[in-house]
Amino acid sequence: MTTFSTPEWVHHAVFYQIFPDRFASARHPQIPKPANLEPWDSPPTVHGFKGGDLIGVLEKLDYLQDLGINAIYFTPVFQSASNHRYHTHDYFKVDPILGGDLALHRLLKEAHRRNIRIVLDGVFNHASRGFFQFNHILECGSSSPYVDWFQVHGYPLHAYEGTPRYACWWNLPALPTFNHANPQVRQFIYDAARYWLDQGIDGWRLDVPFEIKDDAFWQGFRQVVKSANPQAYITGEIPWDATRWLQGDQFDAVMNYLFTYSCWSFFGGDELRTKLVGHWKGHGPEYFSTTGTGFLTSLEKLLHIYPQPAVLAQLNLLDSHDTARYLSITGGDRRRLKLAALVQFTYPGAPSIYYGDEIGMEGGQDPDCRRSFPWDETRWDHDLHSYFQSLIQLRLAHPALRTGEFIPLGATDGSAAYLRCLDGTRFMIVINNTAGTLHLEIPAGPLADGTLLHDLLGSGTARVEHGTLNGMSLPPLSGALLEAAGVG
């Protein structure tokens, strides 16, 4: 297996994913916005804009820093005629509704001053009907010099009516697929990737990279990115086993949806809303287990199918702009979210919070999962927010929770336990995913008899006796993060 490295900062990052149109609208915008915006608190629609922008994010950096965030992943910010901006018009311009290039530059400067990294979304499989080179073909037909930038099957293109005569993603005429075999297309994408790295971004999240079935393309992409900034992050949207892309010559990591599926199924249990899970189950059915034994097996498996550098850089998420919200998927019980977050923040890889999960936001499938962030604090779940803060603080305070060895201890139908160990520090994570009280009797693994453990999330204390952890009980649907404090 190829030896390689992934960005050290990612191993210690806590990400926050922001859908720019819905997170925050600037109190002091730099440029006037169009007037036809939907009310901020109205239900999201497929085509409507709420008017969130990058200066709004800048104005909320205090909130993110107080939460403990040190990295932000933005869904697309480039000029586009869609609220999600996956229909890219111009890869070299920030959308004016988001504040334009100046807004991104200001945000980068202030975020970096606070040691917060910024990762942007790269949509390099397809463009849009408004993308200049495609629009050129619409206007000039077969006479356009850009016909080989796309895969054109006939004229007229039928970009707005009838069956499109060109390759487009999922047969959506608004999303013409690039011809990546064209050297000019490859260079254009590489130039865009380098340009924004030179402007100061810290990495790329790649949209549907599995659609570009050309390893050489992504190998070239990595070379461009790493030559611009060796510590730039490359993570891909791969919703299944990503071994092909994680051998050191393409991506650093992927969005770890296999981890997501494991959390949905185990913590959701009988409350799992299968209609909201939808097609995602087909991408990794073997990771959908309702037992603690199956869950722990999945967690361990994900640490061995990829090289260790990639494991430490995985983007571990519970939901995203493409899925229903975690709370909605698992039935709305905050305790189930707390349990999943406990695992997320004590597991190798970089945890990623989808904006608003920390205050209890819910939502069904797209577009409902993209609701606007409610800045009226009376609508927040403050207990949940405090819990996320505590988990982030503990993760950032203890290197063992980030890069320590992961040692599974044991599981039952409704419980699971594991250790994280590094340089003599040891933490035990215990999950009670049942409706009853769990009286701890857990194999202690390498912990010596007499070792005392204190729950950093509560007031309980347990002790190892005869190779087993005893003396503590967990209420229904709760967990413990126990620090070994020596022998007493």
Q: Which residues are the active-site residues?
A: 207, 237
For residue 235, CA distances in Å to 202, 208, 255, 348, 462 come to: 12, 11, 7, 15, 40
Helix (H) or strand (E) holding 57: helix 54-59
* Residue 450: other Cβ atoms inside 10 A: 11
What's phi and psi for 264, nearest 5 deg?
A: -55, -50
User: In the beta sheet, which residues pair with residue 469?
Assistant: 442, 464
- In the numeric block, which tokens belong to residue 196? 């924004």
The helix/strand/coil state of 164 is coil
H-type helices in 345-432, by residue range? 382-397, 400-403
E strand spans, 390-477:
405-411, 415-422, 425-432, 438-439, 442-443, 451-455, 461-465, 468-470, 473-474
- What gap in Å lies between CA 431 and CA 271, rounded to an integer? 17
Backbone φ/ψ region at 203: left (φ over 0), alpha (ψ -120 to 50), beta: left
* Residue 46: other Cβ atoms inside 10 A: 10
Only one residue has tokens 């999600």, namely 84
Instruction: Kindly report the length of the chain.
Output: 488
- In the numeric block, which tokens belong to residue 408? 């599974």
Amino acid at 299: L
CA torsion through residues 380, 384, 387, 393, sign:
negative
Tell me if 129 sits within 8 A of 159, measured CB to CB. yes
E strand spans, 77-158:
78-80, 88-94, 117-122
Amino acid at 312: L
- What gap in Å lies between CA 238 and CA 419, rounded to an integer? 28
DSSP string, 188-214: HHHHHHHHHHHTT--EEEESSGGGS--
